[in-house]
Amino acid sequence: MNNSIQMDQLTLGVCYYPEHWPEELWEDDFRRMRDMNISVIRMAEFSWAMLEPVEGTFEFQFFNKVMDLAHKYGIKVILGTPTATPPAWLTHKYPEVLNANAEGVLYRHGMRRHYNYSSPKYRELCTRIVTNMVQAYKDHPALIGWQIDNELNCEINVFYAEADHIAFREWLKERYGSLDSLNKAWGTVFWSQTYSDWEQVFLTRPTTADSPNPHLALDEKRFISANAISFAKVQSDIIRAFAPRHWITHNGTFGHLDSHELTDKHLDFFSYDSYPQFSTISPSTEDHPLLDRAWSMNLSNTRSISPNFCVMEQQSGPGGWVNRIDMGTPRPGQIRLWSYQSVLHGTDLLVYFRWRTATFGTEMYWHGINDYHNQPNRRVREVAQVGEEFSKVGSLIAGTVYQAEIAIMQDYDNTWDGELDKWHGPLQWQSVRSWYKQLQYKHIPADLITLRAENLLEDLLKYKVIVYPHAAIMTDETAALLTEYVEAGGKLILGARTGYKDPNGHCYMRPFPGPVAELCGITIEDFTLIKGIIAPAELSWKGKGVLSPGTAAVGFNEVISVVSKDVEVMAEYASEYYSGKPALTRRAVGQGEVWYYGAAFNEPVVDAVIEEIQLKSPVDEWLTAPAEVEAGIRALNGASYLFLLNYSNKPAQLEFKKTAADLLTGDRLEGTFDMPPYGVLIIDTSAVG
C-alpha cells in the first residue's frame, strides 16, 4: 500500500469544533458544507474533558449526536484521539504526567501538549480513554478514520520529566547493554564524565556554558523519537484491535520525530498541516522571493513519507494567537493557490483549518473559512470554488503521484546531530534551501527524500541525480550503497563535511571525506569554517558552465587534494591562501558520476552545476514560464497533469509553443497567456499538441 491514502477523488474536508458553538448552528453548518462540496469533518482531537469529565466517567453522547447529524448530510468523520489535551482533573491529580523543562520545572495546565510520553500513568489513562472512545464510536456509519493525538512534538519537542529520565535509562540499557559500552559511545573518558551507575545517567540537564555531551545530545533526540512512536503505538494498537476497517493517521511534521518510521510501523498514511503563511511572517531578505512557496519543500518532505497524503489542516484565513503569531490576511486567490500547492505535491484529501473562527481562547485570531458573524465572505466563496473544481477534476487527479528525477537527500541522524553541532548543522539548511529554490525557479521538479537504514539501491535509482549535501555522520554501509548508485548510473552530489563522523557522532580517524573518499577520488588537505573575519574564498569555474563572477564558496572551505587521476576539477578557489586549489570535483565512476564540493551550496553554484549536468525542466520544449510560477507534474499510468501555480501578486506571462487547455476552466492556452495573480492552471499534458 506504499503508505498512501487511497482516494477515488480529490476530497475537501474541514476541521470542525461543535463544542465551540451552540447546537442550533450545527445543521446549518453541515448544509452549507455540502453546498461547498465539503464532505469530511475532523473533530474531537481536543475534547478529553468532555469525553471524560470526571475520572473514569465517560460521556460519548455529544459527538454521537454530531456524527448522526453529519451522517444525515452525507458528511464523513475523522476523529482525533484527545490525548494532546489532558483535562485539569488529570494533571492536577497526577502531576507526574506533565512535561518539564531542562531545569525540571513542570509545564502546567492552561495550554496543550504539556504532558510527557513516558509516564506509565499517562499511558494508562490514554489507553483507557482511547479504548472507550474507539469502542463507543467504531460502528458509527459516518466514521472513516482516526487521527492519533495531534501534532506530536509540536509546541515543544524536548522532554525532561522524571518519567523521561527513567525511560531514557531503559532505552539506553536496551541500546547499549552495559554501562561500559554507553561510556564508550558517549566518550565519557573525556572530562571525567564516566558513569559508574545507571542512576547517574540523565537526559541533558543544565550544564555550564550550556554545552551537553554531544553524543548524549544525539541519543536524546533518538530517544524522544522512539518514545513518541511507542506512545503512538499504544493508540494505534487499540484502534487496529477494535476498529480494523478504519484507517489511522497522524498530522505532523515536527522535530525529534522520525515520521517515516512512525508511519511505516503504526499508520496507514501520514498527514500534514499546511500553513504556508508561516514562512512569510518574518521573511529574511534572502528568502523574499520564495516565501509561501517555500512551503512546497515541507510538502515534498511529507510526500517522501506518503506519496499521496492528507493535509489535515490547510490554512484558510489569517493565522493568529492572542500573544504570538500575527499574520496578514491571505490575498484573494491565495487560499485556492495554497490548496493546489498541497494537491500538486500529493494531497488527495484536503481538510481546511477551520470551519469558523473561534470567538474565545488562545486561537481566537486563527481565522477559519467563516468569520465570527457567520455571514458569507470571500474566503467562503474561494473555498466553494475549490470545492466546485474538485468535483470537476478530482477523479482524474486522485491517485496520481508527483514526478521528479532529482532528489535532495537528508537523514534524521544528521539533522538531529546538526542541531547542536555548529560545525556542520548550519550547512545543511543553506544547501538544501539553495538547491530546492533554484530547481523550483527553473521548473525542475524535485523530491526531498530521507535516507533510512532500510533503503535499497532501487529506492535511489528512481532518481537520475541525488544531492546529499552534508552527511557528516556516514557509515561504510551507506558509502557502499552510494557507490552502487553511482556505478549503476546515478549522479551523486556531495558537499563539505561529508563522512567525518560515525553513528555515535565521534570523528573518524581517517582522511575526509571518510567512507566516500575513495568513491570521490579525493581527500581534504586543509579546511576552515567560514565565519566572522574568516571570509569565504571566491571561486573560479573550470567547467563548461558559467558561474556568476565574484561567487563565494560559503559556509565552509575544504581544500581538496585530488588522489585519482580521473578526477576532474570543476572549480578552484580564487582567493585566500588556498587560491588555485580545487574546490569542486567530478569523477565518472561506472555508468554515473560523483561530485564533491568543499563548501555549502549557494544559488550561483547550484545554477552552474545544474547547467553542467544538463538538468532540464520537463516542459522546457513547449512552455516558458517566469520563475515566480511553480511547475510540477502528477502522473500515473500514462495520465499526466501539469500544475502551474503563480505565487506572485502580479500577472505572470506564459509562452506556449504548443496548444494546451486548462482543465479547471476549459480555457485554450496558446501563444502568450497571462496567468492572473495567485492563479492556478492544470494541464492534461497528453492533450498538448
Query: DSSP string covering 329-366, please?
Result: PPPTTHHHHHHHHHHHTTEEEEEEE-SB--SSSTTTTS
Q: Where are the alpha helices (DSSP H) in 421-475?
A: 425-441, 457-460
- State the minimum distance, in angstroms, from the CB of residue 281 to ligand GAL: 13
**Residue 318 near residue 327 (C-beta atoms within 8 A):** yes
Nearer to ligand GAL, 363 or 525 (CB): 363
Q: Helix (H, G, I), strand (E, B), or coil: what is residue 264?
A: helix
Select from 146-154, 226-234, 290-298, 397-405 the region that touches ligand GAL (CB under 6 A): 146-154
State which residue, 112 or 506, has the beta carbon closest to ligand GAL: 112
- Smallest distance from the beta carbon of 364 to ligand GAL, in angstroms? 11
Is position 292 an interface residue for ligand GAL (rule: CB under 6 A)? no
For helices 259-266 and 214-242, the axis angle rounded to 10 degrees is 30
In the complex with ligand GAL, the residue whose CB is nearer, 166 or 364, is: 364
Cα angle, residue 402 at apex, residues 397 and 404 outer, rounded to 5°: 155
Nearer to ligand GAL, 16 or 366 (CB): 366
Report how far residue 688's alpha carbon sits from residue 141's, in angstroms, rounded to the nearest whole number.
Answer: 43
Cβ atoms of residues 114 and 91 within 8 Å: yes
Any contact of residue 353 with ligand GAL (CB under 6 A)? yes
In 3D space, the residue among 33, 11, 227, 202 whose CA is nearest the CA of residue 123 turns out to be: 227
Residue 313 binds ligand GAL (CB under 6 A): yes
Q: Is 558 a catalytic residue?
A: no
Of 80 and 679, which CB lies nearer to ligand GAL in the complex structure?
80
Stretch 630-669 residues interacting with ligand GAL (CB under 6 A): none
**422-447 burial, b for 16+ CB within 10 Å, e for fewer?**
eebbbbbebbbbbbbbbbbbbbbbbb
Range in contact with ligand GAL (rule: CB under 6 A) among 147-155, 199-207, 576-584, 624-632: 147-155
Residue 354 vs 501, nearer CB to ligand GAL: 354
Nearer to ligand GAL, 273 or 593 (CB): 273
Alpha carbons 103 and 120: distance in angstroms, whole number = 22
CA-wise closest residue to 240 among 138, 319, 158, 338: 138
Q: Which residues in 364-383 contact ligand GAL (CB under 6 A)? A: 366
The verdict on 164 binding ligand GAL (CB under 6 A) reads: no
Where does 513-623 have alpha helices with state H? 517-520, 603-612
The partner residues of 595 in beta bridges, in order of sequence, read 493, 586
User: Which one, of 12, 140, 144, lies nearest residue 65 by Cα?
Assistant: 140
CB of 323 to ligand GAL, least distance (A): 13
Min CB(212)–ligand GAL separation in Å: 28
Q: Which residues contact 190 (CB under 8 A, 6 or more apart)?
A: none
List 52, 220, 261, 313, catalytic entry: 313
- Known catalytic residue: 313? yes
CA–CA gap between residue 224 and residue 153 (Å, rounded): 9
Stretch in the footprint of ligand GAL (CB under 6 A) among 123-131, 149-157, 264-272, 534-542: 149-157
- Which of 45, 52, 151, 572 is the catalytic position? 151
Of 151, 538, 612, 628, the one binding ligand GAL (CB under 6 A) is 151
Q: Which of 150, 302, 316, 339 binds ligand GAL (CB under 6 A)?
A: 150
Q: Which stretch binds ligand GAL (CB under 6 A): 52-60, 150-158, 162-170, 510-518?
A: 150-158
The minimum distance between CB 368 and ligand GAL, in angstroms, equals 10
Shortest distance, CB of residue 325 to ligand GAL, whole angstroms? Answer: 7
Stretch that binds ligand GAL, among 69-77, 124-132, 148-156, 403-411 (CB under 6 A): 148-156
Asked whether position 413 contacts ligand GAL by CB under 6 A, the answer is no
Binding mask 106-145 for ligand GAL (x = CB under 6 A): ----------------------------------------
Q: Is 274 in the site for ligand GAL (CB under 6 A)?
A: no
Check residue 352 for interaction with ligand GAL (CB under 6 A).
Answer: no
Environment class of 44 (CB within 10 Å of its CB; exposed 0-12, middle 13-18, buried 19+)? buried
For residue 149, state whether it binds ligand GAL (rule: CB under 6 A). Answer: no
CB of 146 vs ligand GAL, minimal distance in Å: 15
Cβ–Cβ under 8 Å, residues 32 and 8 = no
Complex with ligand GAL: residue 150 or 227, whichever CB lies closer: 150
Residues contacting residue 69 through CB under 8 Å, at least 6 positions apart: 26, 27, 30
| Site membership for ligand GAL, residue 335 (CB under 6 A) | no
Does position 19 bind ligand GAL by CB under 6 A? no
Q: Long-range contacts made by residues 27-30, C-beta under 8 angstroms, separation at least 24?
A: 27/69, 29/355, 29/356, 30/69, 30/70, 30/72, 30/73, 30/75
Residue closer to ligand GAL, measured from CB, 147 or 430? 147
**Would you count residue 147 as binding ligand GAL (CB under 6 A)?**
no
Phi-psi sector, 149: left (phi>0), alpha (psi -120 to 50), beta: left
Please tell me whether residue 154 binds ligand GAL under the rule CB under 6 A: yes
Q: How far is the CB of 251 from ligand GAL (least distance, A)?
A: 6
Strand locations in 521-599 (E): 522-529, 539-541, 556-562, 567-573, 582-589, 592-597
Tell me the CB-side half-sphere exposure of residue 474, using CA atoms within 13 A. 28
With contacts defined by CB under 6 A, how many residues of the chain interact with ligand GAL?
8
What the block records as the C-alpha cell of 1 is 500500500
Full DSSP string of 24-68: HHHHHHHHHHHHTTEEEEEE-TT-HHHHSSBTTB---HHHHHHHH
* Site of grid cell 492519533: 148
Name every residue whose Cβ is closer than 8 Å to that of residue 458 and which is 6 or more positions away in sequence: none
From candidates 52, 164, 261, 273, binder to ligand GAL by CB under 6 A: 273
State how far the Cα of 639 lies from the Cα of 393, in Å rounded to an integer: 13
Smallest distance, Å, CB 535 to ligand GAL?
Answer: 41
* Closer by beta carbon to ligand GAL, 154 or else 537: 154
150 or 306, CB closer to ligand GAL? 150
Shorter beta-carbon distance to ligand GAL: residue 158 or 393: 158
CB of 154 vs ligand GAL, minimal distance in Å: 5
Q: Does 152 bind ligand GAL (CB under 6 A)?
A: no
The single residue among 162, 287, 363, 525 that binds ligand GAL, judged by CB under 6 A, is: 363
Please give the positions annotated as active site.
Answer: 151, 313
Residues that bind ligand GAL (CB under 6 A): 150-151, 154, 273, 313, 353, 363, 366
